[in-house]
Amino acid sequence: MRSIRAAAVGAVTMSLALAASACGGGSSTEGGSNDSPKTLTYWASNQGASVEVDKKVLQPELDKFKKQTGIEVKVEVVPWSDLLNRILTATTSGQGPDVLNIGNTWSASLQATGALLPWDAKNFEAIGGKDRFVDSALGSTGAEGKDPAAVPLYSMAYALYYNKKMFADAGIAQPPATWAEFVEDGRKLSKGGKWALGVEGANPSENIHHAVVFAKQHGGDFFTADGKPDFTNDGAVAGVKEFVDLMAKDKVIAPGNAEYAQNQSVSDFAKGKTAMLLWQSASANLKSQGMSEDSFGIAPVPVQSGTPGTGTGVNSMVMGINLAVFKNSDNLDGAKKFVKFMTSDAEQKILNTAYSSIPPVKGAQADPAFNTPANGVLKNTLATSAVAAPQVADESQFETAVGTAIKGLFADAAAGRAVTTESVKAALEKAQAQMPAA
């Protein structure tokens, strides 16, 4: 008798608890607060050779921040393959971190969701003012005319990394400056099981970074001036074709690269299987894979004319990481303090050195540590010949759609099927059809 009643009471309690927990979860779309001023959650992107490397780099700095402010930062390093999805999930559910790293190319897309704290004059004031940052980096923080959705944290640019010994063995005196030279040198280097260049053929984002630049060099853009997708214009098609042709026609990329998506091309270069690599700020990564600093050289990415510049002389996207604050954080003031800390001159120097990136903060960039020849190439590219990613709301959809199309074209090239202007155009047309019909 008693046990029956107990069971009944138990059942009712459990039902109530379940119902209550169901109602309790979910929507928290209201603005942020300062309800828990002692803790912050931080999602960091994977900048070093591995997630573990990043934890080792970041933890001492977070400890410093705790000593200064008493705020404990719980960091989670999120791999690139998951980061965008995690951010989307956090946006949808309202259950996210307080502070997070975003790829700077996503700025406008994420800005459109309204989940990130806009950096208006007042917020910038709290971290020392907008004019502390380099202009080119600020150009990739959101749509034009709107308050930035994030502040620049690390700046990166693409460069041509080449293996000095392999170049010497093939009798090549200096790195190629034009694509014609590149292909010519590439043919000399691609023999005996070694190849001239490595690419991540199955990694949509990586493909996009190259496609945008190749298209620019042919005078093409993937978006019209008013932000509409325009993937099939002559410049874009010619650019994508030239990129894929490095494998299909010029045969300076090993066909196996078509299925690379886990940075195998970086290890191939570090192991001396390939002689060249087009990568962003790769020095630290290469060193951690056992390549000594004097065994590889760094040169600007080739352009048609041989001299990088603006317009068709563009040879990199403005790559980088931005630091954003979730609007519904329950420690907004703490989050701003953390952003101020991470973008301070001292921290910028430490972090950008560890990741071999360039500080987007003027005060730190002037430091002699960033005046080495390697950093010089990157700095110069960022200053004179880098183009910002399209700052439109559909940017991240564009990365997936066109990136996937190029993956398919590489698969065709690897299988020995012809890659023609028509086939490139058809693939891009299909990608464009997937874009939101805004």
Contacting positions for another protein (CB under 8 A): 1, 4, 7-8, 11-12, 14-15, 18-19, 22, 27, 29, 81, 85, 88, 91-92, 94, 109, 112-115, 202, 204, 254-256, 258-259, 261, 393, 396-397, 400-401, 403-404, 407-408, 410-412, 414-415, 430, 433-436
Q: What is the DSSP letter of 301?
A: P
Q: How far is the CB of 91 from another protein (least distance, A)?
A: 5
Beta carbon of residue 196, minimum distance to another protein (angstroms, whole number): 16
Phi-psi region of 281 (alpha: psi -120 to 50; beta: other; left: phi over 0): left
Our CB check for another protein shows the closer of 298 and 427 to be 427
Query: Beta strand pairing status for 296-299 and 319-325?
Result: unpaired
CA distance 74 to 66: 11
Shortest distance (Å) from residue 17 CB to another protein:
9
Nearest distance in Å: CB 408, another protein: 7
Q: Which is nearer to another protein, 381 or 396 (CB)?
A: 396
Q: Report the distance separating Cα 70 and Cα 18, nearest Å.
A: 37
Nearer to another protein, 12 or 346 (CB): 12
| CB-nearer residue toward another protein: 56 or 191 | 191
Alpha-helical segments (H) within 127-191: 135-138, 164-169, 179-189
Q: Which is nearer to another protein, 218 or 327 (CB)?
A: 327
- Cβ proximity to another protein, 6 vs 346, nearer residue: 6
* Smallest gap from residue 118 Cβ to another protein (A): 14
| Minimum distance, C-beta of residue 73 to another protein, in the bound complex (Å) | 24
Q: Which residue lies nearer to another protein by CB, 59 or 92?
A: 92
List phi, psi (to 5°) of 401.
-70, -55
Residues 6+ apart with CB under 8 A from 362: 132, 133, 134
Q: Are strands 158-163 and 296-299 parallel, antiparallel or unpaired?
A: antiparallel
Minimum distance from residue 125 beta carbon to another protein (Å): 26
Place of tokens 């991540």: 200
CB atoms within 10 A of CB 184: 14
| Distance of alpha carbon 105 from alpha carbon 222, whole angstroms | 14
The answer to whether 198 and 277 have CB atoms below 8 angstroms apart is: yes
Q: Output the smallest distance, CB 191 to another protein, in A.
A: 17
> Toward another protein, which CB reaches closer, 14 or 168?
14
We find the least distance from the C-beta atom of residue 406 to another protein, in angstroms, to be 10
What DSSP string runs through 26-65?
Answer: S---S----S-TTEEEEEEE--SSSHHHHHHHHHHHHHHH
d(CA 301, CA 151): 27
Residue 2 vs 67, nearer CB to another protein? 2
**What span, in angstroms and rounded, lies between the C-alpha atoms of 305 and 184?**
15
